[in-house]
Structure formats: structure tokens, C-alpha cells
Structure 1
Amino acid sequence: MTKHTDDKQLRRSIRLLSSMLTRVLKHQGQRDVEESVAQLQRRFAALMRDNTPARRKPLQDVVERLDADEIGQVVRVFNQYFSLLSIAEESHSLGQRRQRQTGHFWPGSFHDTLCTFKESGIGAEQVQTLLADLLYLPVMTAHPTEAKRRTVKGALRNLFLTHEQIDGSRQGPGRKAALERLQAQIQLLLRTDEVRGRKPGVVDEIDTGLFYFPLSLFEATSKVYRNFEESMVDVYGEKAAAGARIPSFLKFGSWIGGDRDGNPNVTPETTVLALRLQAQAILMEYARRLDALRGQLSHSYGLCELTSEFSASLEADRTALGPAVAELARPYLQEPYRHKLTIVKYRIEQGLERIARRLRGDAEPADCHAYPSVAEFLRDLRLIDRSLRNHGDANIAELELHDLTRLADTFGFHLMHLDVRQESTRHSEAVADILGAALGIDYRAMNEGDRLQLLGEAIAAPGGLMFDPGALPSATRETLALFEVMASSRREIGPDCFGEYVISMTHHASHVLEVMLLAAQCGLVGRIRGHWYCNIGVSPLFETIDDLNRIEEVLNDLFDSPTYLTLLKASGRRQEIMLGYSDSCKDGGILASAWGLYRAQRRIVDICDRRGIRCRLFHGRGGTVGRGGGPTHEAILAQPADSVRGQIKFTEQGEVLFYRYNNMETAIYELTMGVTGLLKASASLVQPVAPDNPENLAVMDELARIGEQSYRELTERTPGFLDYFYESTPVGEIGRLNIGSRPSHRKKQDRSKESVRAIGWVFAWAQSRQTFPAWYGVGLSVSTWCAGRSERLEQLRTMYRDWPFFRNLLSNAQMALSKSDMELAREYAGLCVDPETGKRVYGLIAGEYQRCVEWVLDVAQIDRLLADNPSLADSLRRRDAYLGPLNFLQVCLLRKVREDDAGAGDSPWLNPLLRTINAIAAGMRNTG
């Protein structure tokens, strides 16, 4: 009964928003656009029921009747519908969670998770063991880039908030005003161009990454900690919870401004800019919260008993800062906490002024009173906290002061740990140049063993190698400049401003030691009086199927290096190892990728365990299933048993940031689900877990082998396949949409599978409703392995029921299959220059689609895709009525634009075509 009521409420919200959109169109005098939208929907639905020339002609007539501007307006209406639908669905999900909680009782919440722990015998002391080293680290990246403009995201945020007011209010003047405001906001959205007029630069991407913190993440982070603390008390009792220490387990990372792999626009200067803008953002938040806190702590002398350490600190501040703060503090001389907070805020503002001067390139004053480190800022906040508790105001200390202290402990003065990423050959070339200039050694001619020995000796050279930097090639000078920036930025911002140095395309252990040698030349690594120091952590990234298979060899060679082990010990770091989902899936298909990643994780953990090395896995996940995407909670639980161990790091890419963090309460939910997934996956730290079933592993070996073979047969050995990709999808046109600073191909004019980036690969197939990278080979592998043997089908059903990895794999495949539409894909196949190629390749994809659907349903024992996830199935179904006509329009526009391009003329159809790309991405809720 509850579900029916909930669905009814959702339908009511959708009707309200849709009617508002219609009303706005009429108000703007766009009845013809409204009618065209309705005609396209009706006639497309008729075509899908009966795909005959008689049904196709009426639909074609509607399209041909519209000029470029009219098509653009129609597409914009479709796009706005998807945005409004997403608002209704997000609000509905939020309402459901509210109904389930007086505390925090929704599935996956902290309360729910701790109750499960308690029932399984995990006590409060064991929870403390889990918490001791807990780290949840999402890393924001600039790719795949968000198709929505920031202006549009802000408008959608306002719409969401107004809809929330309407949804929670009864009839009356307040509701009437909110409805009027909602209509005005939809009207404004229709007046705002969703397509960017220019390609964003790296600075724009940095700004986009920072956008979500003041919008939602600062407050969401505070509330996540509070909810956990309250749930500990609710589940384990106040006494047990009081003895537990919940560390600041949430940290955030970024690649924006640090990821230079294949992006020539990321320079050492942009890296410095990113760090300074991050520091500015967090200091501004501290200043804002200090104002609020000063307004609250109005205690007067004589009415509270200050601790002696607080009084001494305040006196020391007066002495040290004296005239600088005398005027600021004058109104608060009788109010000690306000007096202290005025001084604290002044020092934060001094830090802001210092950053502003550096951003402008101005000289800094000699008497800057900024905090030298976040540790001193935290010391002052904790000083106030202890003094408040000393005179019986612990409950007051637990309010805004507690939240500010949490944020300072979480974000420091750097906000996010900035990872740096570069491709391995850049380091190899730079090292070869340096060794040639310093020692006259031909590094390029050496084998791997000799390279490792030489690099170990060179890293240990006192003072670094001697060479003339000016004589080096410009690319090598720029590479060295980056390491110099890392050294200087650590001094300027703080030692935690950088995360790891990620090496993409790591093929050998020498690739890691090369980075260490470059770091040594800039003072990040070295030895003083026999004591080693290391201020950089290196994360090798394994991306392709071959790389995943070579992990054991590379790691063993790396850990056999005495120099590297010494540096790892000196840094006190875990060994972080990054796994690339995107390229491995593009390379060998979803089965080979998923299984290769699973086995790689197991091997990494085993290698590190044998050598007594702590490790952390860094998951390079994208937004779509074909790039490792999917629900975070389930993805964490699907990792190999006893491999997570309290820490996880993963990329948050593109549109995922918008859907998770554009609204504060959704951000709380997403962060909570990720952390509770981490807690559950880390239970092996406090109780034994069952190892993987060897029979399941053997079955997956076979399925992955067959799946990879069939995927490579299609993508690498099918004549005309790449022609089909470039002609039947809008991959080329996506490059003309201003959504990112990174080139869509690694090499211009190279149309090979290796050259196209995984982002463009997945994005283009999704646009043409052929999401096969996320499922191709699943049907063939299962059918081949079962081969009519019923006992094998039963074994797969057992694996689906009992093994989180296999269940997650097939659940994600279901989601991707549901987003495919082979009838629409046939329309795109008709764009191929050679019709026979189009029919042949399309036939292979469509045939495997049908086989996948049949076998997935059989293994999962359901009668339709997503039968066990009805809310997602309903969401996709609601979009289909609008997505289909959009796809049909896109095919027509692709044909027109390509005909115009062949004639070397500017096409009037390009702008509406780009709008369809935006709209379809919004409808499918992902770009790549």
C-alpha cells in the first residue's frame, strides 16, 4: 500500500512539472513547439509499434517540416522535460528516506549498518577497530566532462528547492507563491542556453570542481559525521559510544589541474592555480563559519570559568598581534570567546589575503599573521572546546564549534588532495635526457634489470645529479618544472596539498623509480646524514587487460628494489595502486575487464601481505557501467573478500558529480551509502569472512576468456567495425560540443580503437543506444559455457544469488541493456556509408543483445530486465517516450550535418544536433 501511495505522489509531481512546462510554452507563444513535441512522440510511438514505410513517412514529414531553429526549440523542450523528471524523482527518493527515519533508519544508513553489525556480534570496541584507519576518498575529475553548463545546474538547484517547498506544503498563500516561483524558474530555464558557447578551459573545470563544496559538500560532510555519531549512541548506547573515537574519515581528492595525461592544457602554472583556488575556497568557508560561531558564543567574563590555557592563549595573541587586532577586538573585550574568535578569523583572513596576492602576482607583506598550518588553527578551536566543556557548556561546544572542527580536520588548508597524473613515457624520456646529460649513459638502450639498478643508485646520489637544465629538451624541462612546483607548493599550501603521483600506462617497475628520480632532482626525495626522506607517493596505474595480467611481475620487481622499499618506509605511506576500469573495458570487454580487475585486486593484496606492505586500491571508475560505474555501495561490496580493509579511493567523474552533489540531502545520502559500503566490506578486520569459492573462480575464468574473445572478434577482427563506429555514432560531433578541455583522441587523425579515449567511446555508443561495451560477450560466454547443461545454469544461478561480485556484474549489465534500444540502433546503422557494413556490424551487436537479455533473465530468474529494481526500471521507462524521438531527430540531423560538411559549408543543423547530444545525455543520465 505504501509503495502505491509513493508512486502516486511521484506521478503527481511529474504531472505538475510537465503541466508547468506546457504552461510556460504557451505563455511564451510556443504552441507550435508544444504541438511538434506531441506529434513527434505520437508518430514515433506508432513507428515503434509497426516499423513500416507507412508509419515512417508521417514521422519523417514532421521532421522535414521543421527548420533548424524549430528543431532546436523542440530538442530543448525534451531536454527540460528530462531535467524536471530528474527533480521529481530525486525529491521522491528523498521523501521516501524521510518517511523511514526518525533517526537514520533507511537501508544502508549508519543506523541500519550498525544494527546489522551488532546483530552479527560486532561490538562497539570492534567498530572502533574498523574506524581506526577508515578512509573514504572520492576524487573529482574533469573527465568525462559534464554536459550541463554551471548556469543550468544552478537553475536546476533552485527548481529543486522550490519543488521541495511545494511538495511539503498544503494549500494556501505560501503554496500559491511557490507555484508562481516554480513557473518563473522553468521559464528562466527555457531562456537559458544549455549549450556552451565556448570550449571550457582547465580554469573553468577547476571552478566546476569547487562549485559543489559551498553548494552542498561542506554542510553534507558535517551532517554525515553527526549522523554517524548519533547512530553510535542509538545502537550501542551512550556509554559505549562515548568511548569510541570517530576519526575524520572523509577526505576529498581532485585531478582537476593535476591530470596532464593527454591534456596539453594542464601546465605547472595551472597546477599551482588549482591549489591556490582550493585553499581560497576552504578559507572562505572557515571565515563564514567563524562569523556564525562568534555570533553564538556570547559568554561574558564572570559568568564562565575559563581554562588557564585558554586565558594564556588569549593573552599571547594580544601580545603577538597587538595593534593589528586591537580595533577589531574592541567590541568584544568583555566576551572572551568572541574576542578569541575575532583573532582567529583575522588570521584566517590574513591567509585569504596572502592567497589573493599570490593569485594576482603581488608581493607579500613581511608582517603576515596568517596561520602557518592547519594544526595551529585546530589547536585554537580545540582550546575553545575544552574551555567550554570545563564550565559545563559541552552541549554548546557540540554545536557549530564541533562542526567547524570537523571540517578543519577533514579539509585542512588545502580542501582536496590534488593528485598529479602523467603518462609513463614522458618520465622515461625525461630520465633518459637527464642521465644522458649528467652521466653520458644511454638509458634508452638498457634492459629493465639494468634500468632498475641504475635508477636505485641515481636516486641515492647525494644532492641529485649534476646537469645543465638549459641544455635539456623543452618537454623534459616542463616535466622537471612540475616536480619543482610540487616541492614549492608543499611549502606554500601545506604537506597534504598533494595526494599521489599517478603514472598512467605503467608497464614496468622502472616507470615508478623514474618518477622517484625526477622527484629527487627537485628535493622531494633524498637522504640527509644517512636518513632518507620521501615527500611524494607514487600510484602506478594499470589500465589495459595486458597491464592487469602483468601486475604481479611489476609489483614484485618494484618491491625487490631496496631503494624503493626504503623510500616507501621513509614516507610512512601505504602503497597505493590504481586500477583503470575504462581502458580495460574498451580494450577487452566488460567480462575480461571486470574479472581482470577482480583478480588483480586479489593478487595485489596477496603480494603486499607477503611483504608486510600496507596497500590501498584506487578505483578509476567512470559514470557508466562501461567505465566501471554503477551504485557505489554495491560496487564496494562486490570487491574481493578481505581486500578493502578500511580504505577506498575512487574517481567521481563528470555528470556523477551533478547527480550526487547538486543537492545537499542527496549528497548526505550518497556519502553515507559509500561509507557504509566501506564499513561492511571492511568487516574482515574484526571477524572472519568466507574466502571465494574456487569453483566460482574457475567458472569466471572461463566466462571471461570466452567474453574477451567474442568482444575482440567484434571490435578488432570484424571488417569495417571502426568505420561503423565513426559513421553510426556521433563520436566526431561530440568533439565539437564544448564540454571539456581534453582532446577526444590521443592522436589527431588516428581513428584506431587505441586512439579514441574511453570517454568518447562509451559516450558515442550510448548516444546511438548501443551500450554494448557494458554487456557484449556476456550472452555468448554464458550460452557457450552452459551449452545445454542444466547443472551449469543452476551453478550460475547460485553464483548470482550468493556472490556479490557476480550479482553486481549482471545487475549492471541489466541496467546497460535497459538503456540499449536495438530498433533505434538500426536507425544509426543506416548512417554507414557502406550499407552492407552497417547491416553486418549492426546484426552482430543486435544478435548478442538478444542473447544477453535471454541469458541474463534466465540466470537471474526474472521475467524482465530490472525486475528486482523496479524504481530504476520505471525511471528508464518514463524517459523512453522522449528519448526515442530525440534519437530519431539526431539521426536525421547527423545525416544533414555530414552532407553539409561534405560540401564544405557551415551547417545550420549543427547547433540543433549538439543540443540533441546534450538532451540524450540528460535523458540517459550519463555522458561517459
Structure 2
Amino acid sequence: MSVEPKLTRFNQSVLSKYQIYNSIFMTLPFDAVTKTGVLLPLFHETCEKGFKQGDNPTTIVETFFKKYQARRNKESQINLLFRFIQYIERQVVLFDAIEDAAFPIVNNMEGVGTLRNLKGTAAAEGNLEELQKYLEEFKVRIVLTAHPTQFYPGSVLGIITNLTKAIKENDLSEINNLFGQLGKTPFFKHQKPTPYDEAKSLIWYLENVFYKTFGSIYNYIQTSIYDDGKRHNEIVNIGFWPGGDRDGNPFVKPDTTLKVAKKLKQSIHKKYYEDLRDLRKKLTFRGVEERIIKLETLFYNYSTNQNGDNEDIMSSKEFIKELLSIRDVITKEHQSLYVSDLNNLINRVHLFGYSFASLDIRQDSRIHHNVFSTVIDSLIATGTSSFPDNYHDLSEAEQIEILSKATDDVSNLDAFDDEMVCNTLKTIAIIKDIQKSNGERGANRYIISNNQTALNVMQLFAMLRMVAFKDELTVDVAPLFETIPDLENAPGVMEQLYTNPEYMAHLRARGSKQHIMLGFSDGTKDGGYLMANWGIYKAKELLTEMSRKYDVTAIFFDGRGGPPARGGGKTHQFYSSLGPTIEDKEVQLTIQGQTISSNFGTLDSAQFNLEQLISSGIKNRIDGAKNKMSDADRAVMTDLAETSYQTYKDFKGHPMFIPYLERMSTLKFYAKTNIGSRPSKRGTSDKLVFSDLRAIPFVGSWSQLKQNVPGFYGVGTALKKYEENGEFDKVEQLYHNSKFFRTLLENSMMSLTKSFFDLTKYMSKDEEFGGFWNIIHEEYLTTKRLLLKLTGYSELMENEPSGRASIQVRESIVLPLLTIQQFALKKLQELEKAGVAADDPDKLIYEKIVTRSLFGNINASRNSA
């Protein structure tokens, strides 16, 4: 059977359908302004022509009104711009739904990187046993975070799901109804969500996507790769941050964590009840039916009981035992009828237990330090503590020694007046409660962000034991290393811990595994694109070596964002390129915002992307030796990273860097979007301080400007150094030899493809910021030219035509939106210069335009995932 090229499949199943459905969508009257759908294409055309002629956004908007809508007054013009924004937001939704519907057509669901392909290749090469052995110890964990890069409210996500289904079935009348619903459903959130709201919206994916997808992947491995019906390593599991991630989020309280844990347990019970209800219709045999009915009733009561009072009627072990016993009866007495349906449920209980997902707790080391100092002072004050009076004056090594042996009892948690101290200690106690209710997997990892020293780890280690885990510590303590200096110091920090007998005894009890988290987003913000990725790569190598020296398996957990600038991009290619010097027993990564809906939002995309992640780890194991870098290549990679780091540091240190972000970008508008429960910056100062900036608004602001600086800045200068020295062949050699380097550059190309400097070209003439804009533009041109030279491509992303085509359609959809945004920003800059008051009506209107226009642009960027 001949298969059309991927680009042809994209054009037929996505692009053509979008053009047809969009023309229907544009004729629908959603409100009194019936002309919006007619005028938007004219405005789109005006934008395209205008930018080709070198016009600025203000000229383009004014030209449009002069040419087509000369009679409108100013208020009516502003209203039309708001209508355009609403239409464009909904065009993005339409394109999302069409792309989701076409996913299994555009992507080969049995092609390279899928489990079927993996099994076929292994069988053909006689490696099936090796594959089975590898799958017994390999795991993929995706960790859902509430980081706000997804602007759709839950109601809109529901419409996308239904629209995807209707488009798959070509159901025109349903599509028409959903278009109508889409037009009437607000996209804007009037209030910030609470952390519990965020948890609930992500539990939707657990219930509607992951429950089924994880089950079918596990079933396939069990029946087709092992073919023995036995229980095996669960391979895929899920982590969860909403309700547990306290870092910079004052709204996550101990009762939030408990409430989310209860909701997770209730949700998995509901899924088990639904499966039991279906089984009841099939298993109508003597000796079986009444047992299934009993379980069905029990889980119905579990899932509808809001208070969680029925905690211990049946444990998950007892549940599995009963299901296995029922299976025995069916096998022996009823010809194994419907046994595969029963196996599906048994496998899901094995995968999800009573926890559904593992709730991670996360807090900043600086908060821990303050909390811990308060606790120590109160213990010393009792006069009966094991801590000496001069504890705070001791060296770090002496403090670590005392902490490792601390046995003091901190049980009266209400004795502390400070709310942060009280909440931190109560959270530790709650981990123990969740483990009792949801099983140990319910909450068994505590991440320390901004971790800089071994003392940071030992403070938490001691607190966990003193507050709740006196007998046995069933929690993994995971340091998170983010900045370039922290990554460089990480191996030394871990050696200090590995040489501590008490900490080592804890690791041995936890299967000799040490969880280590590495932050791509803050790494890039701190060190630039190449240095962040190379810094993490080198840190992983050294941490692997250090851990193996002490017979510990390092479990790396990557804090990745959606766009390449935050560690996203083609993630599975990244994992298949790591080579043998990096521990690869598990792939763990954060998934957030639009990455959840774009990569895991449907059953098809979730299955495909999970299988790609599983096979990427296996491919790295098989091809590991091929991916090992030579000393010469390493030297070039290090030099490129160093040059780009210096270039990025100089850029960050430019006196116009902060003013440009503050006054020329959308940075300050992120806080007004009501998309996440967490504040948009860490500090409380009114003055913008770089270290307080969160990675998401930082990267997002460059994205809104269509300058995507964090995804390429410094790459061009680093490559240019080799070109000028007549040593470009060394970089070509590295590109040819290293899959890791190729993956980095391909992701950088994606950032360049999504840049559009004509949008902000008007800034080049600005007397204050013109020079700074030109520096960015120059680096963009250099990077683009040299990446094309290095790859031999005639255009960016030439090797990925369907991905490029998707980006082009999305960028085209939001072009009018970005034009409106820049028009409003320019008006605001003029009003600022004129010294207009903060509550000036015009100023408020233009601010509202900027804030509203953020949404559609970010949602359209989902293919940066």
C-alpha cells in the first residue's frame, strides 16, 4: 500500500478542511456586528500587504479603517478590533480541532517510534528477549503541572473535544451547532483559578485520556511483547503538581494538597466503578455475577462519597486479589469468557492503584531554610533538644552531621505563629496522611527548587523525619538544579550526600535510587539556549558518574516547558540522543499548558506521543554507543556553548534589556490574564528585577513580540566564530556526528520559524530602543543564515515540511491579532510619553486590547510543544 507523503496528508486532511470549515465559520452571525466575518479577511489581507511594503502596525490598522470602514467613529473601530480578536481566538480553536481529528492520518500510528514498530524490528533482528528485559526496568513518567501556558477555560476544551469528534465524522449539523456554541462561549476568565480549580481541569485529562491510553499501552506490551499474561513493570505512570507545588504560590495551602489527593482518589474510584458497571453486563455467570455486583456497589459508594469516610473497606491489594480470584473462576469454569476485559481492569488497578497520580510537593530552599531556622530555635529553647545552642554558628559539614542524626520530635505544629512555618510543617504531616489513604505512591516525592547545597537537602531530610516519618522515611528528597552555577556544583552536592551514612541508608531503603530534577526553563533564562542544554547534558553525565561510583541509580526528572526555549520541542528525539554516559532507566518530564492539550489532549495523540517517549529511551539504550561524543566534538560543543553563553550574558547585561521588556513587550500584562493561580513574578518589589522573573512570562513575552530570543540568541554568534576562523568544518563534523546537537539546532530552527521581525521593525527607528532592536535582529539573521549553511537546507525546518506547514497556518491566523496587539502597545507608549494618568479611559481600553490579544497567540503556539 502506498502512503502519501506526510505533507500531502497534512494538506488534504488539515489545510483543505480548515479552509472549508473556516469559510462556513466566518458567515455565522454571533452578535449584532454581523460584518466581522466579512471584514476579517480584508483586514488579514491588509496586514500581509502592509508588512510586505514595510508598513508598521499602526499604519496598517489606520489604512484598513480608511479604506474599508471610513464612516466608523473611534469607539466603533475599537469595538471591531475586539470582535476580530474574538473571531481569531475561535479560528485557532477550529484549527486545533481539525489538526486533532487528522492526527492519526497525518501521523503513522504504526510507524517509527511506535510500540508495534519497535516489536516488529526487535523480532526481525532476534532481539525480542532483550526488548522484554529492557521493558522490565524502564519507566516513563509524565508530570502534569499547572504552569499557566494554556488559556482555554474548561468549557472551551470541552468544545474542542466535541468539535474534533464531529470533524472526524464529518457531521455538518453538529459542527454548525458547535460553531454557534463556540461563538457564544467566553474565553476570558474573570477570576484567577484556584490551585484546586487547576487540579480539577487537569484531572479531566486523567479521566478522559490517560486512564484509557495507559491501559491500552500496558495491555499491548503484556499481550504482544511478553504474551504471557503475567503482571509486569508498569512502564508508564503519571505525576501531578497542582495542589502540591508551593514554589512561589502562596495560594497552595496544606488543605489544598489534601483536597486534591482526595479528588484524585475519588476520580480513580469513579473510573473503576465505570469499568465494573460494564463488566457486570458481561460477567453474568454463576459464582461471578454476585461478586462483580458487590464490587460495583462498593466502588459506586467510594466514588460518590465526598467525605472520604469509606477509606479502608477494601485496599487496592484486596481489590486486585478479588479480581484475580474472579478471573480464576472464569478461566476454570466459564471458558475464559470476557477474560481480556477483566484483565484490562486488573492492569489499570496495577497502573493507578488508589492514587491515580503521584502528587509531588515542591518548595524553594530559601523558604525551607527560614522555616527550619525557626523550628531549630524553638527546639533549642526547650533545653531538651539534640541540637547544640551554637548550631547556627557551626560549619555546613557540622550542621549536616547533626541533621542526619536528628531525632527530635516536632509534633505540635500549631505551636508556631508564623503561617509559612506552620503550613510547611503541616504539609509534611499531610504527605503521611495521603500515603495512608491513597497508598505510598499517592505522595512520595518532595522537590527542593533553587537547591544549591547539600545542606538544603539535609534540612528537608531532617524535617521529614522529625515531623512525620520517625520510623521509616517513605519519601524521595529531590534537589532541583536550575542555574548554570547550580548545575556545575550539582555533582559535588550529591557526593556530600552519598558520603553521609544516614542519608545513604535512606537511599538503600528506597531501592538505591536518587531523584534529581533539572530545570530547563530557568536554565535557559539564566544561561541562554545552547548553554542551558549543554550545561544540563554535562551535569547529567557527571551526576550519572558520581551516582554510579556510589552504586546509586540517578533518576533524572526534567522540568521542561512547551517551546524549545524552555526545553520543549522534539522531546523524544532529545531522549533518544543522550548516549551511554547518562543514566536512562527512566524518562521523567513535566508537561504543562498547551503541551498537555496538544501532545496528550486526545487518545490518538496521547498514545502516539507516549509510545514515542517509551521507544526513545529504548532507542538510546540500543544506539547508545553511537551517540557517544568524541573528545574533539565535545570540545567544539563546549566552545559553542561558552561563546553563546557570553553573548547571551552581554545581551542580558545591556542597559536596555529590562526597560525593553518592561515597556516594549507584553510582560507586565501576563499578570492580568487570570490564567494561573500563581503570581507572575517571585518578588514583591515594584521594580522589575531579572531574578524575580518567572520563565513563562519571560519566554512568552519574546514570543508575543515574535522575536523568540530565548530559543536562538547566541547560537548565530557562536557559529559565526567558527566561520570567521575558517573552522566551520569542525561544526559540520559535530552536526554530522551528534544527534544531540542536531536535535538542539532543529528545535532552535522552530523558534526562528516562529519569529517575524517585520511586526516590530518600526522599533528600529525608535530613538531609545532602536539600537537594541537591531542587536536582536542581527543575531536572528546571523543564526538563520548559519543554520541554513550548516544543514544545507534552503529554508528552515525543510526536513519537517508538515510541522513547518502547521506553524505557517497558525502564524497566518494570528497575524491580524499580533498587528492589533502592536497597534495597542504603540498607542500605550505614546500615552505614557504624554504623561497620561493610569486611569485614563483610552489607556484602559488599549491595555485591555493587549491583554485579550495574548490569549489567541499563545494558544496558536501549541505546536511548539
Please give the alpha-carbon distance, in whole angstroms, between the structure 1 residues aligned to 2:462 and 2:12: 64
Alignment of 1:86-485 (within 5 A): 86-97=96-107, 105-122=110-127, 124-166=128-170, 178-229=171-222, 231-232=224-225, 241-242=227-228, 246-299=232-285, 335-352=286-303, 356-358=306-308, 364=309, 368=310, 370-391=312-333, 393-394=335-336, 396-398=338-340, 400-439=341-380, 441-458=389-406, 461=407, 464=409, 470=415, 473-485=418-430
Moved more, 76-85 or 805-814: 76-85
Please give the alpha-carbon distance, in whole angstroms, between the structure 2 residues aligned to 1:369 and 1:39: 62
Task: Report deviation, 1:29.
Answer: 6.1
Please give the alpha-carbon distance, in whole angstroms, between the structure 1 residues aligned to 2:42 and 2:755: 24
Q: Does the CA contact (< 8 Å) of 2:413 and 2:422 recur in 1?
A: no
Structure 2 counterpart SS, 1:336:
coil
Alignment of 1:42-57 (within 5 A): 42-52=45-55, 56=60
Task: Report deviation, 1:829.
Answer: 6.8
Q: Does the CA contact (< 8 Å) of 1:921 and 1:927 recur in 2?
A: no
- C-alpha change, 1:919 and 1:626, in structure 2 (3 Å) is same
Q: Does the CA contact (< 8 Å) of 1:138 and 1:649 recur in 2?
A: yes
Please give the alpha-carbon distance, in whole angstroms, between the structure 2 residues aligned to 1:638 and 1:539: 24
Summarize deviations over 1:157-184 as a string: whole Å, max 9, x none.
1111000001xxxxxxxxxxx2122111
Structure 1 counterpart SS, 2:363:
strand
Summarize deviations over 1:373-392 as a string: whole Å, max 9, x none.
21111111111222222246
Q: Does the CA contact (< 8 Å) of 2:627 and 2:738 recur in 1?
A: no
**1:842 aligned partner:** 773
Q: Say whether 1:497 aligns with 2:457.
A: no
Alignment of 1:9-28 (within 5 A): 9-25=13-29
Q: Give the residue type in structure 1 aligned to 2:402.
A: L
Structure 2 counterpart SS, 1:602:
helix
Please give the alpha-carbon distance, in whole angstroms, between the structure 1 residues aligned to 2:335 and 2:393: 71
Q: Give the residue type in structure 2 aligned to 1:417.
A: S
- C-alpha change, 1:243 and 1:86, in structure 2 (3 Å) is closer
Please give the alpha-carbon distance, in whole angstroms, between the structure 1 residues aligned to 2:760 and 2:222: 50
Q: Does the CA contact (< 8 Å) of 1:46 and 1:55 recur in 2?
A: no
Task: Report deviation, 1:599.
Answer: 0.3
Q: Does the CA contact (< 8 Å) of 2:579 and 2:626 recur in 1?
A: no
Q: Does the CA contact (< 8 Å) of 2:194 and 2:677 recur in 1?
A: yes
Q: Say whether 1:925 aligns with 2:856.
A: no
Q: Does the CA contact (< 8 Å) of 1:724 and 1:829 recur in 2?
A: no
TM score, norm. by length of structure 1: 0.86
Please give the alpha-carbon distance, in whole angstroms, between the structure 2 residues aligned to 1:69 and 1:468: 55
Q: Say whether 1:781 aligns with 2:718.
A: yes
Q: Does the CA contact (< 8 Å) of 1:437 and 1:468 recur in 2?
A: no
Structure 2 counterpart SS, 1:735:
helix
Please give the alpha-carbon distance, in whole angstroms, between the structure 1 residues aligned to 2:59 and 2:247: 49
Task: Report deviation, 1:642.
Answer: 4.8
Q: Does the CA contact (< 8 Å) of 2:311 and 2:437 recur in 1?
A: no
Summarize deviations over 1:857-915 as a string: whole Å, max 9, x none.
11111111000000011112222333222111001223445638734235234443322
- C-alpha change, 1:472 and 1:10, in structure 2 (3 Å) is closer
Moved more, 870-879 or 79-88: 79-88
**1:805 aligned partner:** 740
**2:812 aligned partner:** 881
Please give the alpha-carbon distance, in whole angstroms, between the structure 1 residues aligned to 2:507 and 2:400: 16
Summarize deviations over 1:175-215 as a string: whole Å, max 9, x none.
xxx21221111111011111112111111101111011222
Task: Report deviation, 1:546.
Answer: 0.7
**1:539 aligned partner:** 478
**1:754 aligned partner:** 691
**1:174 aligned partner:** none
Please give the alpha-carbon distance, in whole angstroms, between the structure 1 residues aligned to 2:363 and 2:636: 37
Structure 2 residue aligned with 1:816, among 724, 740, 751? 751
Q: Give the residue type in structure 1 aligned to 2:278.
A: A
Moved more, 400-409 or 860-869: 400-409
Task: Report deviation, 1:677.
Answer: 1.5
Structure 1 counterpart SS, 2:521:
helix
In structure 1, stretches of 5+ residues that fail to align are: 167-177, 233-239, 300-334, 359-363, 527-532
Q: Say whether 1:522 aligns with 2:467.
A: yes
Please give the alpha-carbon distance, in whole angstroms, between the structure 2 residues aligned to 1:9 and 1:554: 52
Please give the alpha-carbon distance, in whole angstroms, between the structure 2 residues aligned to 1:593 and 1:773: 10
Summarize deviations over 1:12-66 as a string: whole Å, max 9, x none.
31222112212314x7664421233122111111112211589745247479865
Task: Report deviation, 1:698.
Answer: 0.8
Structure 2 residue aligned with 1:75, among 85, 90, 98? 85
Moved more, 641-650 or 272-281: 641-650
Structure 2 residue aligned with 1:857, among 778, 788, 792? 788
Q: Does the CA contact (< 8 Å) of 2:754 and 2:811 recur in 1?
A: no
**2:635 aligned partner:** 698
Task: Report deviation, 1:423.
Answer: 0.4
Structure 2 counterpart SS, 1:251:
strand
Q: Does the CA contact (< 8 Å) of 2:244 and 2:359 recur in 1?
A: yes
- C-alpha change, 1:403 and 1:902, in structure 2 (3 Å) is farther
Structure 2 counterpart SS, 1:356:
coil
Moved more, 899-908 or 78-87: 899-908
Q: Does the CA contact (< 8 Å) of 1:828 and 1:891 recur in 2?
A: no
In structure 2, stretches of 5+ residues that fail to align are: 382-388
Please give the alpha-carbon distance, in whole angstroms, between the structure 2 residues aligned to 1:608 and 1:118: 34
CA RMSD, aligned part only? 2.5
Q: Say whether 1:890 aligns with 2:825.
A: no
Please give the alpha-carbon distance, in whole angstroms, between the structure 2 residues aligned to 1:604 and 1:751: 35
Q: Does the CA contact (< 8 Å) of 1:585 and 1:627 recur in 2?
A: yes
Task: Report deviation, 1:605.
Answer: 0.7
Q: Give the residue type in structure 2 aligned to 1:612.
A: D
Summarize deviations over 1:626-658 as a string: whole Å, max 9, x none.
110112321211334352433111101111111
Q: Does the CA contact (< 8 Å) of 2:150 and 2:859 recur in 1?
A: no
- C-alpha change, 1:852 and 1:402, in structure 2 (3 Å) is same
Q: Does the CA contact (< 8 Å) of 1:632 and 1:673 recur in 2?
A: no
**1:558 aligned partner:** 497
Structure 2 counterpart SS, 1:439:
helix
Q: Does the CA contact (< 8 Å) of 1:708 and 1:777 recur in 2?
A: yes
TM score, norm. by length of structure 2: 0.92
